[in-house]
Amino acid sequence: MPDLVTHGFAAWLLVRPQRWRRVRLLFFLGTFLPDIISRPIYILFPHWQGYTVAMHTPLFALLCGLLAAEFMTPDLRRCARLAISAGILLHFGLDLMQSHLGDGYYWFFPFSWRSYELGWFWPEATVVWVPLWLAIITTAEAVLAWRGRHSAA
Ligand SMILES: [Zn+2]
């Protein structure tokens, strides 16, 4: 996986426009969800990997995302399902670009055990870009906040 900051930066780029304000947090939830539900289990119980590998698959993440959307108020559920699912798709879109020494991710689990990835970068390669992503986000948000304050006055 690219690191969570890189996932968050990609999500921020997509949902930063004001028209996405209503679903922004749900989209972020979807973007982080595949790693939130799988990584703690992988880290705490590495010897269970044969059993837990399915937790970082599109089907499992989408099911968890749809379950999470059910906790929203009825008027928000449809929107939440779409936003969370879109965030999950963005997450796996970035993961697809990676390279692994062994098998990559099982995109079509439980229908297939074939793994596939584009191999454009190693999972740790994005970490060196984290300071740049954070600088861009904080600078852009500061500029936008400053503009908002000065245009309202
Ligand atoms: Zn991932």
Determine the distance separating the centroid of ligand 1 and the alpha carbon of 36, expressed in angstroms: 9
Determine the distance separating the centroid of ligand 1 and the alpha carbon of 6, expressed in angstroms: 11
Span 4-62, pLDDT tens digits:
899 999 999 999 888 888 899 999 999 999 999 998 998 999 898 878 888 999 999 99
- 8 Å CB contact between 106 and 114: yes
Cα angle 50, 93, 42; round to 5: 25
Span 133-147, pLDDT tens digits:
899 999 998 998 898
Domain total of the chain:
1
Determine the distance separating the centroid of ligand 1 and the alpha carbon of 88, expressed in angstroms: 9
Span 82-121, pLDDT tens digits:
999 999 999 999 999 888 777 778 888 889 888 888 888 8
Determine the distance separating the centroid of ligand 1 and the alpha carbon of 134, expressed in angstroms: 19
Whole-number percent of the chain with pLDDT over 90: 53
In this prediction, residue 1 has a pLDDT band, given cuts at 50, 70 and 90, of low
Determine the distance separating the centroid of ligand 1 and the alpha carbon of 74, expressed in angstroms: 29
Partnered with residue 121 across adjacent β-strands are 98
Span 60-77, pLDDT tens digits:
999 999 999 999 999 999
Range of the domain at 123: 4-152
The conformation of residue 57, written as its DSSP 8-state character, comes to S
* Whole-structure pTM value: 0.85
What residue type is 117 in one-letter code? E
Question: Token match 């740049």: residue?
Answer: 132
Determine the distance separating the centroid of ligand 1 and the alpha carbon of 105, expressed in angstroms: 9
In this prediction, residue 153 has a pLDDT band, given cuts at 50, 70 and 90, of low
Residues in the chain, how many? 153
Partnered with residue 98 across adjacent β-strands are 121
Determine the distance separating the centroid of ligand 1 and the alpha carbon of 145, expressed in angstroms: 31
pLDDT for 150:
85
